Structure formats: C-alpha cells, structure tokens
Structure 1
Amino acid sequence: MPVLTDDVTAAQTVVPLEQEDLFPIREVARLTGVNPVTLRAWERRYGLIQPTRTESGHRLYAMADIERVHSILGWIDRGVAVSKVGKILAKTAPLQALSHIIPNELVHADYAQWQQQVHAAVSAFDDVQMDQVYGQIFSSYPQTVVFQGILMPLWKQLLQRQDQFGQTSEWLFFDGYLRTRVLQRLLLMRANQPRRVIVSALAGQCRELELLVAALFLSSNEMGVRLLTIGQPLDELTLVCEKIRPQALVLFSNHAPAPELPRRLNRLAMSLDCQLMLAGDASDLAQESLAGTSIGCLGNEGTLMRQRLKQFLAGNLDT
C-alpha cells in the first residue's frame, strides 16, 4: 500500500503493516474529505486522533481512526469548535459498559457485520429482508446497543452521503423504516405506562428519528413518555404542560446550544409546574452553563438518560 512521507514524533508507536488494515494519510483524506494538513493539526494541536507509525515514520490510520474523524466532522457541523471536540468525545464514548467484557475491536467488528447486512437490505430497498435483520439484531443485543451501536451510526453515514447518486433514496428508505419501527415500540410501551414525561425537540435541533429514539430510551416500565411533534414552539410549552400536567418536560437537541439557550430555558423553567430537563448532545455542551439552575442535563447515552431522568424525578440527583 503506498504511503506518504510524514514527520516523526518519538512518542508515536511503531507498528508492522501486517498487524491490521491501515491507511496512509492520503487515503484517509480521500475517504473523509479532510485534507492532510488538517489531519496533522488535529493530531498535534488537539490530540483528537493518534495514528500509528511505520518504522520509516509514515502515519497510518486504522478504521477506528477514520470513524473518529467522521465523529469530529459531525460535531464541527453542529457548530462545536474543534478545540472542544476532544472533551466531548471523551465524555460521550459509546457503550463504555461493554469495554471490560469484550475487546473493542471485536465489538466493532460484530457491529460492522450487522451494519453490512442492514446496508445490503437498504441498498435493495427490501423491507422483508430489513425485517429479518432488524429482528435478529434485537435478539442479539439490548435496545440501546441496537440503536446507538449499530443502526444510528449507519443512518448517519447514509445521511452524510446524500450528495452521491442513489444515496438520498437509500437514506429515505432507511429513515422511514426506522421511524415506523420506533413508533411501533413507543405505542406498545404507551399502552402499559402512565405518560408522565413530555419529550419535545428544540426547533431545528434534531431530525424526527433522533427524537423518536430519545423518547424510546427515556421510556421505561415505570414511566411512559408523551412525544410532541417536531416544530413545537418553545414559547407554547407552558400552555401544553398546563393542560397535560406532566412530572417532567424533556427538551431534546443534537446541536451546539445557542448562547441565549440557558436564559431561555431558565425563563421557561420558572413558568412550569414540572421539572425541566435537557437531553441529547446539547445537554453535554450546555451542562456548565446550566450548573446551579433547576434544569437537569440528561446526557445523550440511552441508559444514562433514563437513569438520570429517574434520579432527577426522585430528587436524588443535583442539577
């Protein structure tokens, strides 16, 4: 495999080429759209990626590094400064609970195999095949792993490739399929629990599927959720809560919070007779600015979101 000459830092680990599939910086730039100068800056200045080195000093990147580059791009696209991305990635590393049981490379390889099967069904626009694979994945993993480890990363990949011919149709098929299935799960859970929590998106801050999955994560055997339609005005949430009288209102956002968001949330919280919480990627980004207020931050990881919601409602977790 051809590689590009690059400078060497003594601290870098030297690895034989045959150890795993590794890519030179030129190939990573082609796959991600990030030029080599930027990739080196992310490594040297911010420590966001740590490629290995050949004995002659060439940078080599594993698939995990390429996935991390895509994650970095996703945060930057949401308005997060590159200098803050490292801290966020460290806090939101997925599925940490499994890391002490199964080596990461085996976990990711297994997820990749399932994603290949899902992608094959999506590329064929075959909903019957999708049903089979979808059922098999759920029989192998818990709900949070299915969505956060397998389905949603693939959904995001297809979303990012929409400029390629045929990719928009594939993403629309996959998005529609998942929205239907998540809605079915929410409806089944709704029949069994009192809906004591309202979940609403901040306007323009997420796509419908992301909101549906968040609502699914927040649902439990003890507590159901009532989901408000995308586009719900923030200024009218007080009126909605007066009518429904929930225990909590959870606002969801996957974008970097605007500077005025803490002020708007505090104003909303003062007008509510229930607890106000923020979930999704924005809750990690806004946590410091909301410290000391009555607004709870639930995070963006499924199991953690549900646990924090229960603790906040029980009064066992500080804001």
Structure 2
Amino acid sequence: MNDQATRPADTPLYPIREVSRLTGVNSVTLRAWERRYGLIKPQRTPKGHRLYAREDIERVERILQWLNRGVPVSQVRELLDQPETAETPTPAAGDWPGQRRLLISAVQALDLSRLEELFNQSLALYPVPTCLAELWQPVVRQLEESWGEQLGDVLQRRTLETFLRTRIGTRLLHANPLARGPTLLVMPLPDDPAPLWVLLTALAASDCGYRVHLFDAPLPCSELPLAVERFQARAMLLASGKAEKAELVRRQLPRLAEQLEVPLMACGPMARIREADLEGTRVELLGDDLGEAMENLQARLPVR
C-alpha cells in the first residue's frame, strides 16, 4: 500500500512533472487517478504541491500494466491492493467495447457535447497510446468502413475531423514548447478525404516527445523540401487511411524521398496497402498500427 507514514525521512521525492516524464503518464491523468479512484496517494508540500516517492512511481507502472491488459481503471485498485504473494487473477474484459460503441454513436448522432466528454474522459484516465490502440484507432477504422455515399456520411466525417483538429491542435500548442525531441513535419496525402489518421498520428508523435508541425492538408511535393528547411525538421511523416493513387506511390513519393535531406516516412493504412509498391525505395514504412509506428519512429529517430 502507499502509506506515507512508513516511508523513511530521507526517501527521495519527485514533483509531478518528473513523475510524468518518467512514466509517460501526463499530470492530468495522475491527478485523476488520485482524486477519482484513489490509485496513488502522493505527499503534499505545505503549499499543496504533490510529491511522489519511488514506490508511487512503481505503483503507476503497475497501473499501466493492468490498463494495457484491458482492465478498466475503476477495477485496478482492488488488483493493486492484493498481497504480492496472491495469485494474479486473469483481468476481466475491459470497458473499451462499450466506450467504442458510445463514441461511434456520438459521431453518428453529431453529439458534440458527448464527443467532448468521451474525448476528455479517455485522455484523462488513460495514457495516449492506450487510448489510440483501444478506442480511437478502432473507431476510426470502423467508421471509415461504414462511410460511403449515404446522406450524412460526409457530415459525420467532417464533424469528427473538425472536432479532432481543434482538440489535438490545442494539445500540440501546449506540448510543442516543452517537447525535447526532434521536429517532425506531419501531413496527409492527397486522396484521404479527411485527415483523421494524420491527426491521430500527430497526437501519438507529440505524446512520444516530438515537436510536431501539423499540416492538415497536403502540400505540393515541390514545396516539401522548403518546408523541411524552414521548419528545421528532422523527418517528414505522411499518413493516410486510403491506398492513394499508384502514380503518387510508385513514382512521386520515391522521387521525393531521394530529394529530401531527411527521412520520408509513412504510416496508417496506406503503409500496409502499399507496402509492396514502396519496397526497395527510400520511403520508410512505419506500419499500419500507430503504436508500432511510434516504436519504429523512435528506433529510427530517438527522442533524447
């Protein structure tokens, strides 16, 4: 248990910003875990600032392990508080299927207040990689498979696009000045009717510590070397939920990769669909899944 009274007086203590850096869990989520669920109990300074011991940090890491196994945050405390010698139970199915249904319903109903609530709740209670893997990626995939030529499909797509552009753009605005990683240019490809994958990619890259310059509309290929130079970018990351035209994939992108002085990378469904077409070129495919893509990105361009 997290019992302050049992800690030695000389136990090192860490402010919330350092705990966030060490664990990858943002400070908003750490506070929510404390206030709403009692998962952690940091000490307080006379002015009320939180201070965390090493045991608190280890507890946060155990919380992440349970969340990544699909346990709802509301059920984690009873698992953490079991004796260490007790057999670890198989976690119950998480609440993600229900959250996905709620999110899809909110998009289909154009319910912006519900969409806002679900967005804020997911990112307050769970780390960004978990939210993307369990909620946002599956929902975007399902919606894109269902959208066609029916009345209202374009309206749903544009509503979700506008919502995510505003919310993720705000997060980038606050995160970029604090980012310790290299600068990335993140942008869509021409055939994607709405930059949903680009927006999710930007969120994932920012969470990894990169400084992200997001373009939510494609630039002409002739302008991209200038953009790299002016923004002092260390890589260009393209994302698309569509296959994209053969001419672009087979000729223009490989030619662009030869011209750029930084890596040209791609992720999202296009990276899976066009893998064979780009094999042997200098275009680096990071993967379809954003979690895998971020791992490959960090291996190629580490965040110092």
After TM superposition, the score normalised by the length of structure 2 is: 0.59
Question: Could you say which residue in structure 1 is the equivalent of 2:220?
Answer: 233
Q: Is the 8 A contact 2:70 2:92 kept in 1?
A: no
* Structure-2 change in CA distance of 1:279 and 1:157 (3 Å): closer
Matches within 5 A, 1:186-205: 186-193=172-179, 196-205=183-192
Q: Is the 8 A contact 1:199 1:250 kept in 2?
A: yes
Matches within 5 A, 1:96-115: 98=69, 106-107=93-94, 110-115=95-100
Alpha-carbon distance in structure 2 between the residues aligned to 1:259 and 1:253: 14
| Residue 311 (1) aligns with residue 296 (2) | no
Alpha-carbon distance in structure 2 between the residues aligned to 1:241 and 1:282: 22
Alpha-carbon distance in structure 1 between the residues aligned to 2:262 and 2:137: 31
Q: What is the CA deviation profile of residues 48-105 of structure 1, one whole-angstrom value per residue up to 9, with x for unaligned ones?
A: xxxxxxxxxxxxxxxxxxxxxxxxxxxxxxxxxxxxxxxxxxxxxxxxx748999899
Could you tell me which runs of 5 or more consecutive residues in structure 2 were left unpaired when the two chains were aligned: 1-67, 72-87
Question: Could you say which residue in structure 2 is the equivalent of 1:276?
Answer: 264
* Structure-2 change in CA distance of 1:308 and 1:291 (3 Å): same
Q: CA deviation at 1:247?
A: 1.0
Alpha-carbon distance in structure 2 between the residues aligned to 1:296 and 1:125: 37
* Structure-2 change in CA distance of 1:98 and 1:289 (3 Å): farther
* Structure-2 change in CA distance of 1:119 and 1:227 (3 Å): closer
Question: Could you say which residue in structure 2 is the equivalent of 1:132?
Answer: 117
| Residue 180 (1) aligns with residue 166 (2) | yes
Alpha-carbon distance in structure 2 between the residues aligned to 1:198 and 1:280: 15
Question: Could you say which residue in structure 2 is the equivalent of 1:70?
Answer: none
Q: Is the 8 A contact 1:256 1:285 kept in 2?
A: yes
* Structure-2 change in CA distance of 1:188 and 1:128 (3 Å): same
Please tell me the root mean square deviation across aligned C-alpha atoms, in Å: 3.4
Q: CA deviation at 1:155?
A: 4.6
Q: Is the 8 A contact 1:214 1:302 kept in 2?
A: yes
Q: Which runs of 4+ in 1 moved over 4 A?
A: 97-105, 119-126, 155-159, 161-172
Q: Is the 8 A contact 1:219 1:306 kept in 2?
A: no
The amino acid that maps onto 2:234 is Q
Q: CA deviation at 1:225?
A: 1.4
Q: 1:150 aligns with which of 129, 135, 147?
A: 135
* Structure-2 change in CA distance of 1:307 and 1:122 (3 Å): closer
Alpha-carbon distance in structure 2 between the residues aligned to 1:230 and 1:102: 47
The amino acid that maps onto 1:278 is A
Please say which of residues 147-156 and 275-284 is displaced more in the overlay.
147-156
| Residue 267 (1) aligns with residue 255 (2) | yes
The 3-state SS of whatever aligns with 2:274 is helix
* Structure-2 change in CA distance of 1:188 and 1:290 (3 Å): same
The amino acid that maps onto 2:198 is L
Could you tell me which runs of 5 or more consecutive residues in structure 1 were left unpaired when the two chains were aligned: 1-96, 315-319
Q: CA deviation at 1:267?
A: 1.5
Matches within 5 A, 1:28-67: none
The amino acid that maps onto 2:166 is T
